[in-house]
Amino acid sequence: MDGIYNALKSGGKVLLQMGGYGNAKDIFKALDVTIKKYEDYFNNFESPYTFHTEEFYKKLLNQYRFKDYDVKLVKKDMIHKDIDAFKGWLRTTWFPYTDQLPENLREEFLDDLVQNYLKLVPLDSSNRVHIDMVRLEVMVEKE
């Protein structure tokens, strides 16, 4: 936040968007189940993803002399047209998890993750995959 505050001129504004508290919660539930099968590869692994609450960011912003700010969590429904699209998103977004595995196990891990997720959140009537996402939007204005 120091860098943003120092970069803004008086009256300057910035809008930040990032994953917020509760983001992709069912993905994390499916990951917890999936990882059990591959636990030898996840010793001491910590997720690099952190999703903060509104309160966390409000406390952070109160440490600076912003004229005004607005912080809110916004729910989004991410839709993938089919299982292959969903698996592609998992492959490119959740690589900190797949990178824990030898290359020859990564596709199997993704297949297991897809199946575990679909047990929690079944396909819709058009065979699309839905993911409950939460965005944290932060708008600040410097004095």
Given its phi and psi angles, is residue 5 left (phi above 0), alpha (psi -120 to 50 degrees) or beta? alpha
Tell me if the pTM is above 0.85: yes
> CB under 8 Å, gap of 24 or more: what pairs does 103-106 form?
105/38, 105/41
Query: What angle (nearest 5°) sits at the alpha carbon of residue 9, between those of residues 5 and 11?
Result: 100
**pLDDT band, residue 14 (cuts 50/70/90):** very high
110 close to 37: Cβ distance less than 8 angstroms: no
Angle at 35 between CA 92 and CA 29, to 5 degrees: 80
CATH code: domain of residue 50: 3.40.50.150
Domains contained in the chain, number: 1
Provide the domain limits for residue 118: 2-142
Q: What is the per-residue pLDDT across 117-133, written as a single tens digit (0 to 9) for each?
A: 999 999 999 999 999 99
